[in-house]
Structure 1
Amino acid sequence: MSAASTSRRNLHFLTLLSLLCLAVSASDELQTLLSIKTSLQSPTADVFNSWKPTNRLCNFTGIACNPDDSVNSIDLSNQQLTGSVPFDSICQLPSLETLALGKNSFSGPISDDVKNCVRLKYLDIGNNFFSGTVPDLSSLSRLEYLYLNSSGFSGKFPWNSISNMTGLVVLSVGDNRFDRTLFPDVVVSLTKLNWLYMANCSIEGKIPPEIGNLTELVNLELSYNYMSGEIPPEISKLSKLWQLELYGNGLTGNFPVGFGNLTSLEKFDASRNYLEGDLSELRTLNKLVSLQLYKNEFSGEVPEELGHFEKLVNLSLYENKLTGSLPERLGSVSDFNLIDASENFLTGRIPPEMCKQGKMTKLLLIRNKLSGEIPSTYANCMSMTRFRVSNNSLSGEVPTGIWGLPNVDLIDIALNRLEGQITSDIGNAKSLTQIFVDNNQLSGELPPEISKATGLIAIDLSDNQFSGNIPETIGELKLLNRLHLQNNMFSGPIPDTIGNCVAFNDINMAHNSLSGEIPVSIGSLPVLNSLNLSENTLSGQIPVTLSSLRLSLLDLSNNRLTGPIPQSLSHEAYGGSFAGNNGLCSQNIKSFPRCSPGSGGSKELRLVILCVALGAIALLLSVLCMMLFSKKSQKDEERSLKEDSWDVKSFHVLSFTEDEIIDSIKEENLIGKGGSGNVYRVVLSNGKELAVKHIWNSASGDRKKSQSTSPMLKNRAGKSQEFDAEVQTLSSIRHVNVVKLYCSITGEDSSLLVYEYLPNGSLWDRLHTCRKMGLDWETRYEIAVGAAKGLEYLHHSCERPVIHRDVKSSNILLDEFLKPRIADFGLAKIVQANTSKDSTHVVAGTHGYIAPEYGYTYKVNEKSDVYSFGVVLMELVTGKRPIEPEYGDNRDIVNWASNNLKSKESVLGMVDSTIQESYKEEAIKVLRIAILCTARLPALRPTMRSVVQMLEEADPCRYVGIIVRKNGASEKEEVKDSDKA
């Protein structure tokens, strides 16, 4: 055989051997991928539909291959995957260079097997729910991109393990609860870094001068840490820097000399520090898009050069010590969006051209020393949503068009020297909810067109020179909550239509020239809390209907009223409320003459007694009927369950059948009743306990019509919507602090939701009922943190934020170890991706927990849940219910707490007496957080992410403090809260 023939045969053999090895390798990788598939859990299996043995593995969804068909990349980010990451299988793929698993719901600790993925260049496991520490990563020396941010890690971070990752371009480890540490030296040795995200990861000490070594940095984020000291001058070497975020630390000193060399900087935020000095180093940063320096101690003038920055759209400088004028041309050459320079010492005029491009939404210059007129250019700023220039020295007439801006939500020009009238243009202000013009020199009549601004909830025109009649159309403002007209020259009668404004809480018309009788319709306002009609010329009798109101303030003094004071108001506590009305009489108040028998007092008393007697009889009959119908309804319920056919949808692996559940829906297993349905405790044959909620779908249909006489069934219409809401919300949620939904069982007439059973009931039970138990402070604190984490998950970590809308202690359930679960999602709303806020036409929630804006605007967002959670925190600290008689009429725990912030002793007095003395200071820290959560203005409340941070850190220097605000006080626009949410 020739040498050439032998060579060809050897080559053929090697080719076959190579193909065989490739086939074996491909087979091994296929088996590895299928093993990975079995380890991962997904509520929707769509992502794994293509992962089949019959398909080419390079066609699997999320898989990319090298030219030789070996797996090079796995990208399963943002797929709602749960469970633990199977690194033992993943790292068997010998050519894997990219692993992207971010934005899922993985949990548990990270396996040490990750160290075997030695060829990785790209690793993203950020935005998950892992626990424990980050393992040693020193073997991953080829990494160029490392994303571990916002994934629940804690403990000590292995900084030394990244020292040999010399090619690292992106290091993102922020938003984890690592142990406190000084700025790690190893980081400043990674000179190829382009992106460094170390925000909110417990870094303390000073920013090292060696930061200047990272000359390739485009993004540097060190916010929400414990950093102190001055900004090092070496930072000026980072000439490529595009974003610099330093907010929420303890930095001091001036901007270093040379800071102006950062000429590529577009986004700069150093808010919430203790920085001082002037802003002269910023004059050359002409590429800035967003500049946020609020809550520092800067002084001097705002550089004139800012008026020539062509990209600047966001300028936030509030709460500093700035002086001089704002740049005249500020915003004139950019798509300017927002300025907040409130609470400084600024003088001069309002720059006239900030809305020149028609993009401006917020103008906030509260509490300065600005003078001159409001520029007429803002009358055409159709994009404006907030116009706040109160507490300055502005003068001249208010430009007419300001009143009718179509998107403006709030007009606040109070405490100035402004003149002019509110014009009929206000009828075009379809988005207007609040108008504050008090303490000016405005005059003229209030136009009837104000009724077309149907979203109004608060009007304050006090201390001006308004005259004429109060328009009858005021009654068309169905959402109006507060009306302050005092200290003007209004005349004529109070419109009877005022009784149509059913949301009224506060009416003040004192010190005007109003005449005629007090409208009877005022007595029908269901939530009216304060009524002041003093210092007018009102006449006639006090309407008996006022007796039905529960007022904390009533002042009808110095009018011309006559006749008897209504019996329920006729006691000494109200004596001063009627002074200066010489024609009044009373049976009980000594300072008034006694009423004669024919004056109407005795007749009124007899009428009241008759009404009370009839009401008692009606109540007794109702209770008897409910008892009878309740027994009948329970039998109807059990019979209906047996007759129905069922469809089961499981969300976890089930160890029971639908028959086992349905057979247990009987009266002896009933453990609770609520607006969403009956709840039953089910014990399975294997001993496992479950909770089952039974919800009726509707009251329509022939079969259901026959049952419609039952009062229990009349409220079942619409329950299918509640069922759909709860299933939609809970089926995709995987979190240790949110109640687990095993499955739904749907029938023609009703539906069943099968949950894990929580043996310790609700937090409400443990705090307030006969099941009350002595919860020590450590347990209360753990419940607070756990519940906060559950809400944080709903607001910030779901694909679309979930607003619970009924957060309360009875919806926080406790397991056998008293660990909390957020429950009862029958009112939950999922925020649409393309909307910034949600609304509903039903006031959902529970009295005492409902945020004030929700009660009368029907606008609801995540901040409404934050308010309700703040009430829960107050319950935990004080041991009191949200509504108690001791708070007074129409008052709740929030009012009570606010009124007890006068001294340290009064604050300590609010803490539950059963809490150990040594823990009371710790409890007060949580009370401070509760006060922040229950701020009246939603913009002032923290996000749930911030609440979790404040609760976990429990560090007094991290708290903003308790700020007492009066009407018209400065509003803090927390831009960072909304950005990071």
Structure 2
Amino acid sequence: MSARIRRLLVVIAFIQISITTSQNSDRVALQALKHAWQGPPLSSWRDGSDPCGGDWVGITCTNSRVTSIILSSTGLTGGLPGDIGQFTELVVLDLSYNTGLTGSLTSAIGNLPKLTNLILVGCNFNGPIPKTIGNLERLRYLSLNSNGFTGTIPASIGRLKNLYWLDLSDNQLTGGLPVSDGVEPGLDMLTHAKHFHLGDNKLSGDIPLGLFNSNMTLIHLLFDHNSLTGNIPSTLSLVVTLEVVRLDRNSLSGDVPSNINRLTNVTEMYLSNNLLTGPVPNLTGMNRLNYLDLSNNSFDQSDIPSWFSTLQSLTTIKMHFTNLVGELPATLFSIPQLQNVDLSNNRINGSLDISSNPSTQLELVDLRTNLISDFSQQRQYAAGVYTFGLILLANPICTESGATENEFCSLPTKTSASYSTPSNNCVPPPCGSDLVSSPNCQCAYPFTGLFSFKAPSFSSMTNASIYDSLHNLLTLFFRNATLPVDSLSLKNPSRNLEDYLVITLEVFPSGQPSFNRTGIIGVAFALSNQTFKPKTDFNTYTFNAESYKFFSESISEGAKSKTSNTGIIIGSAVGGCVLAVLLVLAGMYAIRQKGRAEKAVQHNQPFALWDPTSASGGVPQLKGARSFTFEELRKYTDNFSETSQIGAGGYGNVYKGSFPNGQLIAIKRARQGSTQGGLEFKTELELLSRVHHKNVVGLIGFCFDQGEQMLVYEYIVNGTLKDSLSGRSGIRLDWMRRLKIALGAARGLQYLHDLADPPIIHRDVKTNNILLDQRLVAKVADFGLSKPLSDANRTHITTQVKGTMGYMDPEYYMTQQLTEKSDVYSFGVVMLELITARNPIERGKYIVREVKQVMDKNKELYNLHEILDPTIGLSSQLKGLEKYVDLSLRCVDEKGNQRPGMSEIVKELESIMTFVGLNPGSEPSTSASYEGTDKDYSHPYSNDSLFAYSGGILPPKMHPK
């Protein structure tokens, strides 16, 4: 054999050894994943079998190497081990919609050089996004949305030159937006990216001027619902490819750049709920604009813009609270596709002229709280010629004699969209538990999830043809993708807090009642990977699916199991005789242990001996609270649907519901493993059933049925005081309203301390636990940590320290002795938060210390101008502020015996209100003129603070954002 042949054989052998080693490395890594995870698809991952032989669900190979792991919506639980970095040929990793996947994202994720798609939508991963993610040079899709990631956005993402889709929305990310500086990369380097989705986080700081450049090809820029500050950078206009811009629900200030109308491709623009000033932006030339929202900004008083009637593509224009002045042109209402006009709470005057030929799509014109004195088409409107809704409430035209009879001088009855995909010319049959009738009238287990369209071009919620169009697009898509789909249904369209269009999707299997695991993976991946592209009316979306529990393999395995059990039953009969003897002996021992066990159960499970239908031991002492069954509450909340959810926390979720008579309710539902256990549930239930005061949230009832723990409250429409101070609710609080809110909350706490029987220490007073009703009346909420004061402990209670950092009484923390003055301290912090709109602890600075450091009693307003909330009003309007600050600082005295009681606080707040010319006995003015009256804001009926402290050592840097 020649030397050349021998060398060739050595090379071939080396290659074969390398391939075999790599294949073994993949097998070892898959076994590590199987060990780290639990879930239905792993039953096909059999030890010793070939993962590339086609039997391993979710695993795809090329040349005997693992190139894709797709296990979306399959019920996986566990963490993502570092062994994932061994799949050096991996191209696609999709673990979306597995809420049981938790823990941090391993830095080994950066060891996947060929990865193009990293999709972890709707899991529960947390911790920082590792910097090593910047090593994935081939990455095109990065979707980490709807998790719990914290920390800053890694600057290393700027190295992903091939990135097309960046979605980090709906997390807990903080800090600023990274921009390259010659040393570190930044987002400005992603010139091939089309999508920046960073909304629903806690990002802060200015939007850097260098973030945008003319080389970028972005089409969707979504930065909404963060804490971004500073100006909108003028460089934004350089990205002429932009089609959707969402900067709303931040704290952006200054003028809107004068060159913003260079973005002539933009179809949807949201700049609402900021602190923008200067002139109303000139949008002349933005002829493709469909949806415009500039509401709730502090623009200079401005005449009606000339571009109002020139933007002929508009479907929606929202500009309430924007200081508009003048008479509306009749041509505005003739824009062909116009559906919704909201110009309420401005200074629009003169005569309203709708024109003789308004848009046939027009549904609502809201001009409430303006200065309109006449309506040219009043008779035609009264005669029903016009089919759209018109609101002129709180205009001069509605103050004339007899004007209240006009339909447009009152709020129209609100109707919700009730669309549901109709059946295909068939009669839906009755279906069993969990089975649903498909549009083809077949009972099946559908794959279900929620579409969230973040920038639809329309505002209509009642036009069925829009949803029919989406249904047809989805049907065609699934058919062309050759997925095992029989039909699909869309239902319950609604708008959520972020003004996203949310629609429930049900996908039904073909040829059998349920999907197999491969089918679910295919359907889920098509939506998580953005393979489905809706038409431009719907624009960008996210899809969040429920984990699928009805795999056909599981059902078949269950049937086989029943057959095989027949033989087992015969053998068991013999063994049962022996077992009976053993049970008699065990029973004798159990009787001896019964007393001890019952005491332990009563301590750990305070409801364990409670039968709601009898007067057995452990029954909470209730006064007037109604008992609900689980089935009743499930009906009132549309089966606890995601669209009904209005809040979430460590304890569980809060849902909005309604009784058959239309009364709205809020339902706090505990989940397993919640931070509040049965004892706290029973405490809150017993305490709340005894308290009845207009400044304390009302308990309607409870549910202790089928293992559920739920509390049913009155629904408080305007959400939390924290929402209003942060700007999330859209309600603007001036000095007078803040005084009234402070007085209302103080009266609620005074009632708890002095008049409740027994007296109650709240123990968690904070702005998240003060709610505002439709008249902005303050109501104290959340009694999960509260403690009653019995006759034996009227002075104090020695107890484990619990509460929220920043509001907690330092004396209580040091001594563990809880007194009424602990609530006073927390209320003092709330008073300071009311005038500054700052978190108690922000960027390491404590609000009490900040106020004390800058205040100077020898200067106007105690020299507090720099830290006062800019929206509170002008300095000349803040009469009585000094007295208010003096009172709040007495409340936060380090020594409890130096603090005033709540009754004294109430008297002093009443005195301040009298001093400023307000009647302390009057109710706050209605919020009807403030945005947010009819919206669903988060409700803190649970201990939902991520910073709730329940004893032990305080973690470092523990401060809310």
Normalising by structure 2, report the TM-score. Answer: 0.48
Q: Which of structures 1 and 2 has the larger relative contact order (alpha carbons within 8 angstroms, sep 6+)?
A: 2
